[in-house]
Amino acid sequence: MNEANTSRRDFIKKGAVATASTFILPRFSIGKAGGSANSKVNVAVIGTGGVAHQSFKGCERENIVALCDIDSTRFPKAFAGTDTRTFSDFRVMLDKMGKEIDAVCVNTPDHTHFPATIAAMERGINVCTQKPLTHNIWEARTLRKAMHKYKVITNMGNQGHTYNGIRTMREWYEAGVFGEVREVHLGNGGPQWGSKFFKKPATMPLQSQSIPDSVDWDLWLGPRAYKDYNEIYHPFTWRGFYDFGTGPFGDWFCHTGDGPVWILDLYEPTVIECEERVVGLDGMTTESSVVRFDFPARGDKAACKMYWYDGLQNGGTPIKRPPEWDLGVRKGSFWFADKQNGFLDHRSNNPLLSSREAMVEFKQNVTIEQKYPRIEQKGPWAEWISAIKGDLKGGLHACGSNFDYAAPMSEIALIGVLAQRFGGRLEWDAKKMRITNRPELNMFVKEPVRQGWRYGEDLWKS
């Protein structure tokens, strides 16, 4: 890491922030990169349309010094005519401005999360990346290694992990409210075809179209093998294509599965089996599916099965609910346990017991100690900025979805997507990172990349 840049980043963590209270800050602080007398963080944003609005909101009191997008029409108009620099290639941006950037937000399609994130980390730059963290399991584990190698503050964009509800549910569980949790059933209604995020073409493969002048298509493809441009891929509806996205499973498991994974230690399934699926067009996400994960006993926790459902809007199997459930139609995870069944919503917030009567009795008669600190900064980007400044304790683990958590949690979604995509049963050796009964699928555990897009291999050398 550059010595001058190290000093600046240390100053940000240690510097006083009192000056921020003496004047009203604009919605965005747009200024030249370099030292900051009022301890602001110099932020670059890679991928500036769509969900990037979450990054801008979380960093609105910082210096947005650089924007990068493969489509020049996606740069926010608020930055036009300012000193904020714009780029189409994040590699060029980092080469030219890396010494002036403290933090990078990554909001690209799933298949380019990894190269954009690790390229920043290699330069000692803090990163906050959208979910799922990566497109394959090897990439997730590599980013976890990179966090420790480069000593940077990391976070992933699953908002629910900053909410109070997930902490409350863990406190209930650890206080013995539920007893042993034997099954968890969770899911999502999508893919919602025809929406902003999912569009279904009439046939596959897609027809080649002219590339718009504003788009650098080769950079959009990044590590993937070349495909001709089609407007259905960019800017929003790449999610339904397995080459680039992970469908509703990868998109929403990192929200809805966050609570079950974190609270119940559901990290290393031995079997993942697609029990039901309605196959979609070639190379696209399923119309609907049910995927089961088998987790063996973990310490003092009993063996547990977790079921993911999607495609409910397309006639898929409804999520299993406890028989006593009388709290209306809700999206989230249903917990089946020995003493008391429970529920967390689709963002792993708003915990409930499984009936109105149980909730009334619980509120009247039970007090649970608050063990886990609540997060004042609602949202992972604001949490991350506070951690960079040193306002949160924990060092590399100051953020709840730091990569020591975000990587293994995303891994559950990614191995589930493989079961959904190829059907049948996967026997998974998490320690060796291998599918043992269908070795031909291991090429998707670590996917091939195009020349010039290879990162992180050195982190695996002993």
Ranges of beta strands (E only) in 79-219 are: 85-87, 103-106, 126-129, 154-156, 181-188
At position 206, the amino acid (one-letter code) is L
- Backbone φ and ψ for 117, nearest 5 degrees, come out as -70, -50
The one-character DSSP state at 157 is -
Model pLDDT, residue 114? 99
Place of tokens 């046939």: 203
Could you give all domains of the chain from N- to C-terminal order, each with its CATH number?
3-161+378-402 (3.40.50.720), 163-372+408-444 (3.30.360)
Low-confidence stretches of the chain (pLDDT beneath 70): 1-38
Model pLDDT, residue 4? 45
Place of tokens 């013995």: 176
pLDDT in tens, 394-453: 999 999 999 999 999 999 999 999 999 999 999 999 999 999 999 999 999 999 999 999
Judge contact between 310 and 277, C-beta under 8 A.
Answer: no
pLDDT in tens, 186-228: 999 999 999 999 999 999 999 999 999 999 999 999 999 999 9
Tell me how far apart the alpha carbons of residues 331 and 335 are, in angstroms, rounded to a whole number: 13
20's tokens? 């921020």
- Backbone φ and ψ for 169, nearest 5 degrees, come out as -60, -40
308's tokens? 């993911």
Does the model's pTM come out above 0.75?
yes
- Backbone φ and ψ for 166, nearest 5 degrees, come out as -65, -35
